[in-house]
Homo-oligomer: A and B are copies of this chain.
C-alpha cells in the first residue's frame, strides 16, 4: 500500500472521498456543485473543479462524457478503501449485531452452515454472497471404518475431529472379507489417526516411493483405498443473491449481467480465486481491474478466509459492482468469517 498522504494533500483527499461516497450512495456522476453543497469543505465549486481535474489527470476519477460529473476509477475506489481501512472507525455496530443474530440460528445446522450463511450475506448486503466450504484435505482424521459393499467394493467412512463425516464407495478388483477389512482399517487408524488428509496423502506417496517392495498385500490395499477415497474429496461453492443484484442500477445493461452470470457459472475459476485469497489473513479486497479473472474486471470482490488457528476452514465473501458500499460489505464479510471460524473451532 502506497503512503497516500504523500500523493495528495488533505483537501484533495477529502474531495476524492466525497466523490466516491456520493457516487456510492447515488449512482450518478458527481459534479463540483454537488460536492460543494453536500460536503461542507468551505471551498467553491470552481476550486473543486480545478482539483477534480487534477484528480482526473492522476487517474483517480474519470468522466463518462465531457460535460458530466466525475465518477471514481478503480484506482479511486482503491484509494478510498485504503483510507477507509486505515481509519477503521467505519464499522456499523448495528449491522454487525443484526448479522450476528441471523447467523446465530445456523449454529446447530452445520450441514447447511455455508449455504445459509451465503443467503444471509446476500440479503443483508444486496450483493452476491459467496462461500466455500473447506477442502476436506485440512481436516484431521479421527478414525476410518471399512465395510464390504457387494462383493467387489468397499465403503470407507471417514470420521474427522470436527464432526465432518464422509463416505466413499471404492471399487476394488478383488474380494476382501470383512475380517481383512477390519485389519486394514486397524492399520490405517494406527498409522493415520491424528493426521490431516493432506498429510496422509503426502505420507502415502512417500511410503509408496520409499519401500515399494516390502509391503504385504494388505497394506498395499489399504493405501489404494485411502488414496482413492481421499483424492475425490472436494470443497463446495455456494453463491446466492443474483436476483437481488439485478435490481441494482449498475446492472441496468445486459452486457454486465451476461458477464456476471458467466463469471459465477464458471465455478472452477471462482474456487481457484477464493483458494488463492484464502491463504492470506484478514479481509481481502479486489477492485475491478485488479482482478486477474477477465469476466470479473467490472466487479469487486471482498473475501475473508475463516481460520481455525492457521488452517483455513472455509471462505466467505461478497461479489458486487465496483460501485459498492465498501464499509458495509467489508463489515459483513469480516463478521461472517469470524462467526464461521468460531463455530468450526468450538467443536
A residues contacting B by CB (< 8 A) are: 111, 145, 147, 149, 155, 157, 159, 163, 165-167, 169, 232, 240-243, 246-247, 252, 254, 257-258, 261-262, 265
B265 touches A240 (CB 8 A): yes
Provide the residues of chain B in CB contact with A232, threshold 8 Å: 111
CA distance A169 to B262 in the complex (A): 37
CB contact between A247 and one of B145, B165, B241, B258 (< 8 Å): that residue? B258
A265 touches B246 (CB 8 A): no
Provide the residues of chain B in CB contact with A265, threshold 8 Å: 240-243
Closest Cβ of chain B to A178, distance in Å, is 12
CB contact between A243 and one of B159, B166, B169, B258 (< 8 Å): that residue? B258
Integer count of this chain's copies in the complex: 2
Provide the residues of chain B in CB contact with A145, threshold 8 Å: 145, 147, 157
Provide the residues of chain B in CB contact with A155, threshold 8 Å: 157, 159, 165
CB-defined A-B contacts under 8 Å, sample of 26: A111-B232, A145-B145, A145-B157, A147-B159, A149-B159, A149-B163, A155-B157, A155-B159, A157-B157, A163-B169, A165-B167, A165-B169, A166-B167, A167-B167, A241-B265, A243-B261, A243-B262, A243-B265, A246-B254, A246-B257, A246-B258, A246-B261, A247-B258, A252-B254, A254-B254, A257-B257
CA distance A254 to B247 in the complex (A): 10
What 9 A-B pairs come out closest when comparing CB atoms?
Answer: A243-B261, A243-B262, A165-B167, A242-B261, A243-B265, A246-B258, A155-B165, A157-B157, A167-B167
Provide the residues of chain B in CB contact with A258, threshold 8 Å: 243, 246-247
Provide the residues of chain B in CB contact with A246, threshold 8 Å: 254, 257-258, 261
Provide the residues of chain B in CB contact with A167, threshold 8 Å: 157, 165-167
Closest Cβ of chain B to A144, distance in Å, is 11
Provide the residues of chain B in CB contact with A111, threshold 8 Å: 232
CA distance A261 to B251 in the complex (A): 13
Provide the residues of chain B in CB contact with A257, threshold 8 Å: 246, 254, 257
CA distance A165 to B170 in the complex (A): 12
Closest Cβ of chain B to A134, distance in Å, is 17
CA distance A172 to B42 in the complex (A): 68
Since A165-B167, A242-B261 are in contact, a sample of 14 more A-B pairs with Cβ atoms closer than 8 Å, ordered by chain A residue number, is A111-B232, A145-B145, A145-B157, A149-B159, A155-B159, A155-B165, A157-B157, A157-B167, A165-B169, A166-B167, A242-B265, A243-B262, A246-B257, A257-B257
Closest residue of chain B to A108, judged by CB?
B171
Provide the residues of chain B in CB contact with A240, threshold 8 Å: 265
Provide the residues of chain B in CB contact with A163, threshold 8 Å: 149, 169
Closest Cβ of chain B to A232, distance in Å, is 8
CA distance A64 to B86 in the complex (A): 57
Provide the residues of chain B in CB contact with A147, threshold 8 Å: 145, 159
CA distance A166 to B111 in the complex (A): 13
Closest residue of chain B to A109, judged by CB?
B232
Closest Cβ of chain B to A148, distance in Å, is 10
Closest residue of chain B to A253, judged by CB?
B254
Provide the residues of chain B in CB contact with A254, threshold 8 Å: 246, 252, 254, 257
CA distance A242 to B165 in the complex (A): 33
